[in-house]
Amino acid sequence: MANIKDMAKQKELFSGGHRACAGCGAAMIARQVLLAAGPDTIVVSATGCLEVVTTIFPYTAWNVPFLHSAFENAGATISGVEALYKSWIRQGKYDKKLNFIAFGGDGGTYDIGLQSLSGAVERGHNILYVCYNNEAYMNTGVQRSGATPKSADTTTAPVGKVKKGKEQFRKDLTGIMIAHRIPYVAQSIAGNWRDLTSKVEKALSMEGSKFINVFQPCRLGWGYEPELTCEMGRLAAETCVWPLYEVVNGVYRITYKPKVKKPVSEFVKLQGRFRHLAKPENKALLDDMQATTDKNWEELLKKETFSAATQENAAKPA
């Protein structure tokens, strides 16, 4: 893995001057992904916070070739770019090794962009898709998405006199991508650069479709002070709200197991979107969140054990 001093010597591929909020996790993620990927990279982005703040004409924060076409089609758009590359390689018109990286928010990935992503990885294009997941449609004003966790306050599933935020559990998109049986699927966070950059490097060293779901705290949408973005990401890992793991050719490996698993209340109490959970009448919702988190974590531990055993069995002589 490239060390931080080497990375600091690299040409800056993602510049300042973009219009992201102060403390934006998405900008942080994009910058770190590019540090890991290097300059021989083409980026496609779905419509969303990252794309909007970084490409207001005539200003672009990208120092690599960049394409945005629409909201629901980062998967399909990058498929086309990669297809052209494959075509030119085959025709002898091109010979450089390139990375193809698509960025999509949870909006453009979990919901409206799911089909396009699914199709792209089913076809096995040699791409890395990075979802910067801030758990709501942030760019349009914090509307609920399929990634929004249960009980979170968003503008289309708000906390009011009768309703207490989102009533559905959040989609397990990482699980959906694992089910596509692509070579590499991982979860990471903004707030652990080693985890994110090493996963990006690993993904880019593999052929085929790769997917990394990066938990991205959003100070505006979640309601916390901007300096806490990294801390918020780490708390998500320490409470197991967002486990850090990877699935390499079907084998699960949890890349961070907290020594002391913190209660979800530690994560929740710092965020305005969960403010209502501090009220005694909403205790059941907080308990539900803890129970769900625990259940998911236990399942993940089991999956890790199971897939390691399966791999061992497969390796054993008959």
Position 306 contacts other proteins (CB under 8 A)? no
Residues 176-181: contacts with CB within 8 Å, 24+ apart? 176/114, 176/118, 177/117, 177/121, 177/211, 177/213, 178/247, 178/250, 180/118, 180/121, 180/122, 180/209, 181/250
Q: Tell me the closest approach of the beta carbon of residue 74 to other proteins, in angstroms.
A: 9
Q: Tell me the closest approach of the beta carbon of residue 168 to other proteins, in angstroms.
A: 26
Q: Rule CB under 8 A: which of 213-242 touch other proteins?
A: 225-231
Q: Rule CB under 8 A: which of 178-207 touch other proteins?
A: 191, 193
Q: Which amino acid is residue 292, in one-letter code? A: T
Q: Which amino acid is residue 65, in one-letter code? A: P
Q: Tell me the closest approach of the beta carbon of residue 227 to other proteins, in angstroms.
A: 3
Position 96 contacts other proteins (CB under 8 A)? yes
Q: Rule CB under 8 A: which of 41-80 touch other proteins?
A: 42, 44, 51-52, 54-70, 72-73, 75-80
Q: Tell me the closest approach of the beta carbon of residue 272 to other proteins, in angstroms.
A: 17
User: x/- binding map, residues 107-126, to other proteins, per CB under 8 A?
Assistant: --------xx-xx--xx---
Q: Rule CB under 8 A: which of 16-35 touch other proteins?
A: 16-25, 27-28, 31-32, 35
CB nearer to other proteins: pick between 29 and 300: 29
Q: Which stretch binds other proteins (CB under 8 A): 37-45, 129-137, 142-150, 287-295?
A: 37-45
Residues 135-138: contacts with CB within 8 Å, 24+ apart? 135/106, 135/170, 135/218, 135/221, 135/222, 136/106, 136/107, 136/218, 136/221, 137/105, 137/106, 137/107, 138/48, 138/49, 138/105, 138/107, 138/218, 138/220, 138/221
- Which H, E and C letters describe 194-207, residue by residue? HHHHHHHHHHHCCC
CB nearer to other proteins: pick between 109 and 293: 109
CB nearer to other proteins: pick between 25 and 165: 25
Contact 230, 196 (CB under 8 A): no
CB nearer to other proteins: pick between 269 and 303: 269
